[in-house]
A = this chain, B = another copy of it.
Amino acid sequence: MPNNQFKKGELYSFITGKASTAIARRLQKKFNTAQLNLTIEQWSVLYHLWKQDGISQQELCNATFRDKPSITRLVDNLEKLKLVKRVSSKEDRRMNMIYLTAEARKMQEVSMELAEETLNEALTGVPEDQVEICKGVLQIVYDNLK
């Protein structure tokens, strides 16, 4: 028997992701205010490179949950901004390994602080145990559908 928790009136915001849209908009505004010339999507790519530099575009696809054309263009734009460099792999010449520039490395600290700040604003007034439950539910949703 499927769960039928969703009355029609409540289904909308779950599908449209109003909460995560609001979070992303708030973070984008903070980037703009801080003169950080970076879109949230570009930041999400840098985020994974900060964790591990020199990974392939395919690995960025998996990490960011985006398809190959999206990553191609994000890397194009990040390259134009001189924040990453494509280096074609010597072991497998089909692959581009993506490396951060010094410029991009400098952006990590500020942007991560703004991201944490945004989440703290978003979660003001939410008890910690409920945040944990919410994270768990969203993880299951993702696993169910991926």
Contacts and interface: CB of A to CB of B under 8 A. Distances in A.
Contacts of A2: 120, 124
A104 to B, nearest CB: 17
**Copies of this chain, tallied across the complex:** 2
A26 B121 contact: no
21 contacts: A2-B124, A3-B124, A3-B126, A4-B120, A5-B123, A5-B132, A6-B123, A16-B65, A18-B138, A19-B139, A22-B145, A23-B145, A122-B141, A122-B144, A122-B145, A125-B144, A126-B137, A126-B140, A131-B137, A133-B137, A134-B137
Contacts of A24: 15-17
Interface residues of A, number: 58
